[in-house]
């Protein structure tokens, strides 16, 4: 083994260790930032090792790609707001999967006849997963950005069509796996995989996007693993496996948090139909004057804030932290209740509140905080809807029946900050908003919270 190869394998070992340490550190908010640094250092080591250990035909394309990619990445990192982080993440999945698919296509064109049966199978798996993840991630990004309708897109015979596309894709994969000379089978598989990615995501509503994001992340990781087997690259195999299986585990955990199965998410079309105003909903939403809300908060003993996607769109995380600190100065006990699928990607609310320097010790997961709601004087719901809908608990006919929720309706008083009287992404009416103990405070969340800060100061 040459010195260059030895150095490459050594850097791959270091990179793999850093990836594992990074993943471990990212499992807790207190160490997540450090975990990102570990992962970045690991990726740098993997790239350097590859450049050292491989014969480079020309540095022009490598340097050009490095500069272009760095420029685009820096621009996105600086300019994309936290509210757009879910769609930004979806684009990252698309780019990674596209890279895997393109590498596979290039390898097939150059080395297909020389490949072993195992390597050719890995290549087909790589291209198929990479292609469907690319289009699926682009559709997810479009839904999250609002470029594509967020509600499920469904039509008669859709599942049959999806099954036919899937069977055709697998059939083409088996055909070129057996005989690589049949080029039409390979490229037909690529086309069907691209179509399957679109058809897989369009029937899924925005309410299920956190699970879809996690699942697409898993697919991109598994595509990278297959790329590692095709190229004989150990660090790709390790990194892709870590990414793929961690994403799959997260998807399963999130489905559990929503009381749904993966197949239900992929084929159920959550939100396609609007349930009866939910049978438990009805009556009048009662509005509360700003000054009355401020007095309730100022003289409460316990207050819990429940952030949702509305907090992200209003960029109100700094305003809610300022209000919470003001209440704490008055002796009020303040906590934040975090639902596992609040927002549009895993950990969305945690990231937003961390950006506003809200201490992690003040964030409470659903199972921790639910027993405390009956003893809480005021719960402030900021842009959350489906994750606080009591129909999930009380109405067996509801589309979200059985989904674990934050039981804010058990608190002594609930103040809901909303722009208007619209429904959540699931399309369901929320009976919480009609309950006697609930009052609505309409307006932009950031502006309303800033006004509450001033009103509480004067109370």
DSSP symbols for 22-42: HHHHTTSHHHHHHHHHHHHHH
**Whether residue 99 is found in the same domain as residue 243:** yes
Beta-ladder partners of 414:
379, 438
* Tokens standing for residue 367: 């199972």
Residues comprising the chain, all counted: 459
Q: What is the pTM of this model?
A: 0.78
Residue 425 has pLDDT above 70, yes or no: no
Residue 156 lies in a domain: yes
From 34, 61, 79, the end of a domain falls on 79
**Could you tell me how far CA 225 lies from the centroid of its own chain?**
21
Residue 28 has pLDDT above 90, yes or no: no
Residue 118 lies in a domain: yes
* Tokens standing for residue 192: 């069907």
Domain that holds residue 1: 1-79
Looking up tokens 């009805």 gives: 282
**Whether residue 410 is found in the same domain as residue 350:** yes
Question: pLDDT at position 400, please?
Answer: 75
- The Cβ-side half-sphere exposure at 68, using a 13 Å CA radius, reads 6
Q: What is the CATH number of the domain that holds 442?
A: 3.40.50.1220
**Whether residue 64 is found in the same domain as residue 98:** no
The predicted-structure confidence for 345-389, as pLDDT tens digits, reads as follows 777 888 888 888 888 888 998 989 999 999 999 999 998 888 898
Q: Which of 359, 356, 409 is nearest to 381 (CA)?
A: 409
Residue 275 has pLDDT above 50, yes or no: no
From 204, 235, 268, the end of a domain falls on 268
Question: pLDDT at position 302, please?
Answer: 96
pLDDT band at 277 (very low <50, low <70, confident <90, very high): very low
Element (H, E) at 92: helix 85-111
Region 43-57: mean pLDDT is 85
More confident residue, 230 or 84: 230
**Whether residue 109 is found in the same domain as residue 217:** yes
The predicted-structure confidence for 146-174, as pLDDT tens digits, reads as follows 788 777 788 888 889 999 999 999 999 99
**Whether residue 131 is found in the same domain as residue 174:** yes
User: For residues 129, 134, 137 and 138, what is the CA-based torsion angle, rounded to 10 degrees?
Assistant: -160
Residue 341 lies in a domain: yes
Element (H, E) at 433: none
| CA–CA dist 82, 85 (Å, integer) | 5
From 49, 79, 109, the end of a domain falls on 79
**Number of domains making up the chain:** 3
Q: Return the axis-axis angle of helices 85-111 and 209-231, rounded to nearest 10°.
A: 30
pLDDT band at 413 (very low <50, low <70, confident <90, very high): very high
Is residue 351 within 8 A of residue 379, CB to CB? The reply is no
**Whether residue 319 is found in the same domain as residue 260:** no
Is residue 324 within 8 A of residue 397, CB to CB? The reply is no
**Whether residue 262 is found in the same domain as residue 166:** yes
Active site residues: 386
Residue 425 lies in a domain: yes
Looking up tokens 């390597």 gives: 119
Residue 274 lies in a domain: no
The predicted-structure confidence for 190-205, as pLDDT tens digits, reads as follows 999 999 999 988 888 7
- Range of lowest pLDDT (88-92, 151-155, 224-228): 151-155
Three-state secondary structure call for residue 83: helix
Distances (CA, A) of 312 to 76, 308, 342, 410: 18, 7, 10, 25
Residue 104 has pLDDT above 80, yes or no: yes
**Whether residue 9 is found in the same domain as residue 105:** no
| CA–CA dist 370, 177 (Å, integer) | 53
**Whether residue 73 is found in the same domain as residue 91:** no
- Range of lowest pLDDT (41-45, 65-69, 339-343, 448-452): 339-343
* Tokens standing for residue 128: 């198929």
SS (H, E, C) 122-145: HHHHHHHHHHHHHHHHHHHHHHHH
**Whether residue 361 is found in the same domain as residue 444:** yes
**Whether residue 166 is found in the same domain as residue 228:** yes
* Tokens standing for residue 297: 């908060």
Q: Rounded mean pLDDT of the chain?
A: 86
More confident residue, 283 or 12: 12
**Whether residue 217 is found in the same domain as residue 259:** yes
């Amino acid at each position: 083994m040459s010195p260059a190869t030895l150095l490459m394998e050594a850097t791959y070992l270091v990179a793999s260790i850093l990836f594992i340490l990074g993943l471990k550190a990212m499992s807790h908010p207190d160490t997540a930032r450090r975990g990102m640094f570990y992962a970045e250092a690991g990726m740098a080591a993997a790239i350097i090792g590859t450049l050292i250990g491989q014969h480079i035909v020309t540095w022009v394309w490598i340097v050009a790609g490095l500069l272009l990619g760095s420029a685009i990445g820096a621009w996105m990192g600086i300019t994309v707001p936290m509210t757009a982080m879910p769609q930004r993440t979806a684009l990252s999945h698309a780019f990674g999967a596209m890279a895997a698919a393109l590498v596979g296509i290039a390898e097939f064109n150059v080395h297909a006849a020389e490949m072993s049966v195992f390597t050719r199978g890995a290549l087909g798996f790589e291209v198929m997963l990479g292609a469907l993840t690319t289009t699926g991630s682009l559709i997810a990004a479009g839904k999250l950005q609002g470029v594509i309708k967020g509600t499920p897109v469904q039509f008669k015979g859709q599942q049959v069509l999806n099954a036919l596309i899937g069977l055709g894709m697998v059939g083409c994969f088996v055909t070129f796996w057996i005989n690589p000379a049949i080029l039409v089978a390979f490229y037909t598989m690529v086309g069907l995989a691209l179509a399957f990615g679109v058809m897989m995501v369009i029937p899924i509503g925005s309410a299920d996007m956190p699970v879809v994001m996690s699942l697409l992340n898993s697919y991109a990781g598994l595509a990278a693993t297959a790329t590692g087997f095709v190229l004989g690259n150990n660090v790709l195999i390790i990194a892709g496996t870590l990414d793929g299986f961690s994403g799959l585990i997260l998807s399963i955990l999130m489905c559990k948090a929503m009381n749904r199965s993966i197949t239900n998410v992929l084929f159920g079309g959550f939100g396609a139909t609007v349930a009866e105003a939910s049978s438990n909903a009805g009556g009048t939403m009662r509005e509360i004057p700003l000054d009355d809300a401020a007095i309730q908060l100022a003289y409460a003993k316990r207050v819990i804030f429940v952030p949702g996607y509305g907090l992200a769109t209003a960029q109100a995380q700094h305003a809610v932290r300022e209000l919470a600190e003001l209440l704490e100065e008055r002796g009020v006990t303040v906590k934040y209740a975090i639902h596992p699928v609040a927002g549009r990607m895993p950990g969305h609310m945690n990231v937003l509140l961390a950006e506003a320097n809200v201490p992690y010790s003040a964030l409470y997961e659903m199972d921790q905080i639910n027993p405390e709601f009956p003893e809480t004087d005021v719960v402030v719901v900021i842009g959350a809807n489906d994750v606080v809908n009591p129909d999930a608990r009380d109405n067996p006919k509801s589309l979200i029946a059985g989904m674990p929720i934050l039981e804010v309706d058990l608190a002594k008083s609930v103040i809901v900050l909303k722009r208007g009287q619209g429904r959540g992404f699931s399309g369901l009416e929320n009976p919480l908003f009609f309950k006697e103990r609930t009052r609505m405070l309409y307006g932009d969340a950031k502006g309303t919270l800033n006004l509450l800060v001033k009103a509480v100061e004067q109370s």
